[in-house]
Structure 1
Amino acid sequence: MLLRKLRHAVYLIASLGMLVYAIPRLEFGGAWDMADVFGVVWCVFALLVIAANLNEILLVDEQKRKQLERIKRAKYAAIERRAARGARG
């Protein structure tokens, strides 16, 4: 558990570092050319990575993690049943 949180802390620090490094180098001119779109999309993805790692560090406990795993397995089982049903029909 502690190793998992440490790993997410390292990922969080790395993604924050990349964001701090990249923000001054990205162009946000206002003309909305490809460089501006790339900069905005890159920042949005970086912020999603930061939010996901913060969520893992601060909010997810072992019980919630197990519950999410059960939900994920149930979704995969439902997808497999639908695929098997579709392959037969």
Structure 2
Amino acid sequence: MHPLKIVILLVLFYLLYRLYISGRKKRLEEKGAEREAPAISDLLVQDPVCGAYVAKGQALVLRDLDGSEHHFCSDKCRHAFIEQKQK
């Protein structure tokens, strides 16, 4: 085999290798970007008793029989809401 053909083949393989690596790197970056998307717990909800805003993922949740949800900042506010509702 002629030495020029060997050099051309080596350059071609190197270019294909670089193309493969760059595509793989982009896919890994896209997967990382999907993981960094803001979670639903970053949304703020308002406590109906004291009016405080709490991250949805950290709030205490009370579900009514009709399916509505109420979010509370603390157990104290949740109990106060239950007492108000019973009256």
Please tell me the TM-score bracket, short chain as reference.
Answer: 0.3 to 0.5
Which one has the bigger helix percentage?
1
Which structure dedicates a bigger proportion of its chain to strand? 2
Structure with bigger RCO (C-alpha 8 Å, 6+ apart)? 1
Greater Cα radius of gyration, structure 1 or 2: 2
